[in-house]
Amino acid sequence: MASHSQNRRSLVKAATFRLLVFCSDLTVVFLITHRWDTATGLVVATNFASTTLYFFHERIWDRIQWGRAAASYVHVELVQALLGKK
- The DSSP code sequence of 53-81 is HHHHHHHHHHH--TTSPPHHHHHHHHHHH
- 4-47 pLDDT, tens digit each: 778 889 889 878 988 898 999 999 999 999 999 999 999 999 98
Q: How many Cβ atoms are within 10 Å of 50's Cβ, its own excluded?
A: 16
CA distances, 19 to each of 11, 16, 75 (Å)? 12, 5, 35
Q: Is the pLDDT reported for residue 71 higher than 70?
A: no
Angle, CA 52 vertex, CA 44 and CA 63 arms, to 5° = 160
**Ramachandran sector of residue 68 (left: φ over 0; alpha: ψ -120 to 50; beta: rest):** beta
pLDDT tier, 74 (very low <50, low <70, confident <90, very high otherwise): low
The pLDDT assigned to 79 comes to 67
pTM score, whole prediction: 0.54
